[in-house]
Structure 1
């Protein structure tokens, strides 16, 4: 296993010491330095550049978000934020994700040493995932955004495919639905896709692997940027044209038929593929209840969550797409879907909005 060089940037000497001890439990991780603030980090990085930076937010001389933005503008490097975040600090977390952070690990205000020791597997997994990413591909301005327009395709779409696992209804529906699943790098990728959509487009349901406290603020931020409405899903919400529903962190989201309409169910349950919400849970429900009336898109992310669900969607008659390797931060989930034959074709990130915009609404 190739060695991953990690630089720890945190103003607490105790945190730096404990983090180093935790990370060095993994044979593939090597801590090349521990420094108290970003200015010391810059000096340390002149001697040896890290593969991943483990970064605090509140530090003297320069805060972590400012450092992250400067880093991504000059020499993009995978960053994992490890910070004490309260409800008030949720916006700071979203700012970090928007600036290019690959993962967020929340530190508690008390019991910090015990937490860091107990969270060893989470930290190690986050650093390995970050090391596999390519943050330069999501720098602003890399590629021009598309300017899709609403489709003028004729009406008369086929009814959804009836599956044995789906409740049979005497009512057919021509409602269209788009299901998107993503993980590492997905916050920036979703911003690129959703901000490029026209005001009128098919209803969208999204699973983005994200901690429980952050999905509502993430949806609110996107809503302020997009022409479509974006919000965190609630149990019973209808899937509507011109709207995107994001599964809440810590809950699974499924699509169900309600007469001729689609609605979402938001439920607790055990993690699936280590995730809650899980892309597979969403995609399998769309396969069962929407069939050929759906488009499935699997995007950047580590692991295989969503691959089997996308295959179920394709088998049910849905169109399916996978983000291409060149535009992925981590080509994990799309690659697994491709191996299964779940995706009809690969697609560049900046072409996804155009595919969604071309879906006829009736």
Structure 2
């Protein structure tokens, strides 16, 4: 896979016709709901509503969709089997995996995302629950529109395929749920042009916080793999927008990648160096001071920035515990979560860095922080871990 770099010599083709969406699900109810939702959006159209992965594979060259919403469990050919065959026939196809939240389906979704799917979204257990159906509706439309913006801004060269990501991504299943605007999101996405950075604080970092969303799990794996010395000496706390079950599996992946203990945070446990603490799906993770210790505080409060868990509660609470020693990295993701908490970190004398636009699957969260002027560095993914290691070793530049 390749990435459309800023300043690329390829011409940019801004498309104005509706996004072509193919819905593939063996449930007639889900197909009907999703098709109606997409059909109600002025910048999208349903070009096919199919029951099996085999139908999708057989018809994709005729249909030529931009986006496929692909169920995992289907007769004849399931989603994980259909995925590589669909991408082989249309390499720039955006595939959003959709399935109910079970351990098995979450594992399959992680595999699908590593094989080239762009994102994942959980289907509600029942469409009779209005709140769950509305979240599914909003999240799905937002994901289609956001990834569709990449299609609209893709280079015109036919050989420059899958331009929006540098690697397979394990993407989150929980995203902001506000009603999307009706116009294409391409015009609203932040850009890195003319963004200014601030000097690094002279204060020594005492904790590493990371916030991420769409494309975050793969980015997290890349970063933690190289953070061994930092993890051994400092606590590492991560909030990734994901539902329950997915965060359990993500913690297992982080432990394998870092070769250090990693687990979903437990309410009331002391925060110590040598461990990665991951916010559990469906609960906000904060930290509080309890005597001489920093302690995890989980809560089941309302979504923040339409997300649960959200990054801002972690960032803001950390400043009350570590003050000037708070250091945060904001990685790829939709929305602006982390920006307000990042402002609190900077105001307390800490530091914030962000992933750059070119290597982000979606430059929403890092872009919001960068454009707010709170970042001391905006770096390609490959440079983030080495810079963190140097900063935590005493380099203040």
2:39 to 4, 24, 48: 24
Distance in 1 (CA, whole Å) between partners of 2:378 and 2:202 is 25
Confirm or deny that 1:79 pairs with 2:95: yes
Q: How do residues 256-295 of structure 1 correspond to structure 2 at under 5 angstroms?
A: 256-295=288-327
Write out per-residue CA displacement over residues 207-247 of structure 1, whole angstroms, 9 at most, x where no aligned residue: 11111332122212332333122111111223322321110
Q: 1:130 maps to what in 2?
A: 147
Aligned residue for 1:253, secondary structure, equals strand
Compute the displacement of 1:12 (Å).
3.3
Confirm or deny that 1:108 pairs with 2:125: yes
Query: Is residue 9–residue 54 contact of structure 1 (8 Å, CA) maintained in 2?
Result: yes
Unaligned runs of 5+ in 2: 1-15, 151-162, 170-200
Aligned residue for 1:320, secondary structure, equals strand
Question: Does the C-alpha gap of structure 1 residues 201 and 137 become closer, same or farther in structure 2, counting only changes over 3 Å?
Answer: farther
Confirm or deny that 1:223 pairs with 2:252: no
Unaligned runs of 5+ in 1: 141-156, 160-173
Q: 2:238 maps to what in 1?
A: 206
Confirm or deny that 1:60 pairs with 2:75: yes
Q: 1:147 maps to what in 2?
A: none
Distance in 1 (CA, whole Å) between partners of 2:131 and 2:348 is 48
Query: Is residue 207–residue 327 contact of structure 2 (8 Å, CA) maintained in 1?
Result: yes
Query: Is residue 79–residue 130 contact of structure 1 (8 Å, CA) maintained in 2?
Result: no
Distance in 1 (CA, whole Å) between partners of 2:392 and 2:34 is 52
1:196 to 190, 201, 226: 226
Confirm or deny that 1:183 pairs with 2:200: no
Question: Does the C-alpha gap of structure 1 residues 196 and 106 become closer, same or farther in structure 2, counting only changes over 3 Å?
Answer: farther
Q: 2:30 maps to what in 1?
A: 15
Write out per-residue CA displacement over residues 71-126 of structure 1, whole angstroms, 9 at most, x where no aligned residue: 56772533222223334433223334444441322242685999758843333223
1:90 to 72, 90, 106: 106
Q: 2:280 maps to what in 1?
A: 248
Query: Is residue 202–residue 359 contact of structure 1 (8 Å, CA) maintained in 2?
Result: no
RMSD between aligned residues: 3.0
Distance in 2 (CA, whole Å) between partners of 1:274 and 1:186 is 17
| TM-score scaled by length of structure 1 | 0.81
Question: Does the C-alpha gap of structure 1 residues 29 and 359 become closer, same or farther in structure 2, counting only changes over 3 Å?
Answer: same
| TM-score scaled by length of structure 2 | 0.74
Compute the displacement of 1:312 (Å).
1.4
Write out per-residue CA displacement over residues 21-74 of structure 1, whole angstroms, 9 at most, x where no aligned residue: 222122222111122333332343323533321010012343212333555677
Compute the displacement of 1:327 (Å).
0.4
